[in-house]
Amino acid sequence: MNFFVISDTHGHLEKVYDMFNRLSEMTIDGKPVDMILHCGDHLRDGEIIGERLAVPAVSVAGNCDGCRKRDFRVVPSPDGNILITHGHMEGVDYDLSTLRYLAQENGCRAACFGHTHVPVFEDIGGVLMINPGSLTFPRDGTTGSCALLNATENGFDGGIYYYEHLFGGKDRKKSRGGFLRGMINYSDRF
């Protein structure tokens, strides 16, 4: 089962459609994407994308949706459940332990999250942590990223895919600046 994982689209969907079409052509097991997982910040974006692409979509609310309580979904897969959340209520800016505990409490072998706009694809304490980054407002010096996750009875496989690697273009240079610029650029963290 193939999952297209995205986050932090903030109403800008052009790159999402580009990446979906390109990754659908090169999925891990040769099958098309079975489900879209949208990890928040603009809950409605996940619904719009799913409708346009005619693919089931699961989305959660993020801090920019006015979400002030924990919002998560559990999605079954051939290798076990996957937790989907935005991550702001789990403190993913600081560490992933609260998110890992939430995943374990809900019987999940993987956790998909967003909020930081920085990609992660790493096993931490027996839970595969996946942050697809952001195709809209990346904070890692690239032109954006998303993730593809393949779940089989034998485990999870997949990775982070960068827009510039599939469509060309150079990495953007990171902006330099002090504390005030950081507050402005990352205001959804405060």
Domain locations in the chain as residue ranges: 2-189
Helices (H), the chain: 14-25, 43-53, 97-105, 163-167, 179-185
HSE of 113 in the Cβ direction (CA atoms, 13 Å)? Answer: 31
Confidence of residue 105 (pLDDT cuts 50, 70, 90): very high
Q: Taking the domain 2-189, which CATH number applies?
A: 3.60.21.10
pLDDT tens for residues 42-92? 889 999 999 999 999 999 998 888 877 789 999 999 999 999 999 999 999
| Residue range 159-187: mean pLDDT, rounded | 62
Q: Which two tokens stand for residue 24?
A: 């659908």
Q: How far apart are CA 89 and CA 86, in angstroms?
A: 8
Which pLDDT does position 63 carry in this prediction? 85
- pTM assigned to the model: 0.86
